[in-house]
Amino acid sequence: MAEIKVPELAESITEGSIAQWVKKVGDRVEKGEFIVELETDKVNAEIISEEAGVLTQILAEEGDTVLVGQVIAVVEAGEGAAAAPAATPAEATPAPAAPQAAPAPVAAAPVVEETSGERVIASPAARKLAREKGIDLAAVSPVDPQGRVRVQDVAAHGTAPAPVAAAPAAPKAASPAVDESRVTVEKMSRRRQTIAKRLLEVKQSTAMLTTFNEVDMTNVMALRSRKKDQFFESTGSKLGFMSFFTKAVVAALKKYPYVNAQIVGDEIHLNNFYDIGVAVSTEEGLVVPVVRDADRKNFAEIEDSIADLAKKARDKKLGLADLQGGSFTITNGGVFGSLMSTPIMNGTQAAILGMHTIKKRPVEVNGEVEIRPMMYLALSYDHRIIDGKDSVGFLKTVKELLENPEDLLLNS
C-alpha cells in the first residue's frame, strides 16, 4: 500500500487546495502517473503516485484545503477491474470486503503556524517536524538572532497539546442571506485570495507613490515595422514592444540603482542583477513570471523568454522558480485598453512600470502641432527609498530611449 501525500513544494507553501482529481477510486495507476492537481498560492502542482496499483481511497475532495504532508489518497497493489472501491471520506465505515478496518486518515498533525498573524520564518525541516509533533511554530523560541526557527529549536520545544483540544475554532459568522435570483455567489480561488492579501499588504506596508510621463511611440513603431520581417527570418522570433521596454528599463535601472532595490529590515539591498518580472493575465488572476538576467539577453532572447513564460502561465505550467526573485516588474494594461493607471508594486520590489494603450493625439513637435501615437507611462515606487528625483529621472530615461530606439539596438 502506498499513501499519496501532499509534497513539500517550497518553504513558503504549507497548504493548498485540491483542484482536480484525474483518477477516480478503482482506477489503475502506474508508477509516476499524474493523479491529482493541487492548487497553491503560487502555482498548480501535479502530484504523482510513487507506486503502481489501484487507487482505492480518495481522502480529500476537490476544493478541500490540505496541508503539506497530509495523506490525500491510497494506492494498493492490484488491477483496476478486480479492485473493490474503498470508502470515501463521506462514508462512515469501510467496505465490508476489506480485510481490516481502515483507520481515519491521519497525516501530519495540523498545526497553526501563524497564530500571531505574522509569518513565521522557519526551515523546511523545522516545519516538517513541527507538523509531525503538532507544534505551533509561533510558540517556538528560536536560537537564531534573526528569528529563523530551525529543526533543533522545534525538537527542544517539545510536543504541543493537540490543536483541536487546545484551541477550538471560533464559530464562523453566518453569511447574510443572498437573493440568488439577483446575486451569483462565487467562492474566491486560493490564488485570488492570495493576490488580494498581497496587494493589500503592499499598500499597507510601503509608502507607495506614482509618477507619470508619456512617450512618443512613432520611432519604435516605425523601426518595428521596418525590421519585424527580417527579425523573424533571422531569429525565428516575433519582434514585439516588450523587448524594447525591457531593454529601456534595464538601462534606466543601471542609471538609477535605487529603483532596482528593496528594503530588508533596516537595510537597503541594491540588486546588481536585472531579473525583470512581466505581469501576465490568466483566468485565475495575474501572475508575474521572471525574465532572468535580462541585461545579458538580446532582443530575440527576451521575446522568446516572455513568450515561453506567457504560454506556461496560460497552460498552468509555471514552476515556483519562474515566479521568484524578480527585482523589478513591468505590467502592460494597454493590451486591455487602459489609458492610464497606478500599478501596485509586486512583493518586496521597490517599483513597477505600467505601460498603457497607444493613442493618437495632438502633441507639440518642434513648435508645430502633430498627431502622434502616444503612450502614458506610470512608475509606482516605494518613496521610503526612491526619491522624486530618481523616479522622474528613471521615467525620463525610459522615455528618451524608447523615442530613440536605435540606441537600444546599438547597446544590445
Q: What's the Cα-to-Cα distance from 61 to each of 89, 195, 293, rounded to whole Å?
A: 8, 24, 41
Q: H helices within 62-106, ranges in order? A: none
Q: Which residues of the chain have pLDDT under 50?
A: 81-117, 145-146, 159-166
What is the rounded distance in angstroms from the CA atom of residue 328 to the CA atom of residue 349? 6
Catalytic residue among 275, 356, 387, 407: 387
Q: Measuring CA to CA, which residue among 403, 399, 344, 400 is closest to residue 377?
A: 399
Catalytic-residue membership of 382: no
Catalytic residue among 144, 383, 390, 407: 383
- Residues in CB range of 33: below 8 A, 6 or more apart: 23, 48, 49
Residue 148 has what pLDDT? Answer: 60
Q: Which domains does the chain have, with CATH numbers?
A: 2-76 (2.40.50.100), 109-166 (4.10.320.10), 193-411 (3.30.559.10)
Residue 309 has what pLDDT? Answer: 94
Residue 89 has what pLDDT? Answer: 44
Catalytic-residue membership of 383: yes
Evaluate if pTM is beyond 0.75: no
On the CB side of 315, CA atoms within 13 Å amount to 9
